[in-house]
Amino acid sequence: MTRCHVCFRHCELKEGALGFCGARTGSAEGVVCSNYGRISSIALDPIEKKPLRRFMPGSKILSVGSAGCNLRCPFCQNSEISWGDEARDILLSSDEITPERLSDLALKYKAMGNIGVAFTYNEPLTGYEFVRDTARLVKDKGMKNVLVTNGTAAVSVLEEISPYIDAMNIDLKCFDRDTYKSVLGGDLDMTMDFIKGASETSHVEITCLIVPGISDSPEKMRDMSRWIAGISSDIPLHISRFFPCFHMKDASPTPLDTIYALRDIARQDLRYVYTGNC
pLDDT given for residue 91 in this prediction: 67
Range of the domain at 238: 2-276
Least confident piece of the model among 47-56, 90-99, 198-207 = 90-99
Cα R_g (the chain), whole angstroms: 18
* Per-residue pLDDT at 236 exceeds 80: yes
Is residue 196 within 8 A of residue 170, CB to CB? The reply is: no
pLDDT of res. 78: 87
Cβ-contact 188, 154 below 8 angstroms: no
Residue type, 225: S
- Report the relative pairing of strands 114-119 and 144-149 from DSSP bridges: parallel
User: Is residue 151 within 8 Å of 96, Cβ to Cβ?
Assistant: no
Mean pLDDT in the chain? Answer: 95
**CA 118 to centroid of chain Cα atoms:** 10
SS3 helix, strand, coil % of the chain, rounded to 5?
35, 25, 40
- Residue pLDDT, tens place only, 162-183: 999 999 999 999 999 999 999 9
Confidence of residue 5 (pLDDT cuts 50, 70, 90): very high
The confidence score (pLDDT) of residue 194 equals: 98
- When pLDDT is averaged across residues 222-250 and rounded to a whole number, the result is 97
- Say what the pLDDT of residue 55 is: 98
Q: How many CB atoms lie within 10 A of CB 124?
A: 25
pLDDT of 218 over the 70 cut = yes
Contact 216, 186 (CB under 8 A): no
Residue 274: phi, psi to the nearest 5? Answer: -120, 150
Residue 90 has pLDDT above 80, yes or no: no
For position 203, what pLDDT does the model report? 98
pTM value is 0.96
Q: pLDDT value at position 81?
A: 83
pLDDT value at 85 more than 80:
no
Segment holding 68, helix H or strand E: none
Q: What pLDDT score was predicted for residue 1?
A: 83
Give the pLDDT of residue 79: 85
Tell me if 75 sits within 8 A of 246, measured CB to CB: yes
User: pLDDT category, 220, cuts 50, 70, 90?
Assistant: very high
Q: How many domains does the chain have?
A: 1
pLDDT value at position 92?
65
83, exposed or middle or buried, with CB in 10 Å at 0-12, 13-18, 19+?
A: buried
- Give the model confidence (pLDDT) of 139-149 as tens digits: 999 999 999 99
Are 67 and 123 in contact by the 8 Å Cβ rule? The answer is: no
The pLDDT assigned to 244 comes to 95
What's the CATH code of the domain at 134?
3.20.20.70
> Which of the four pLDDT bands, split at 50, 70 and 90, describes residue 82?
confident
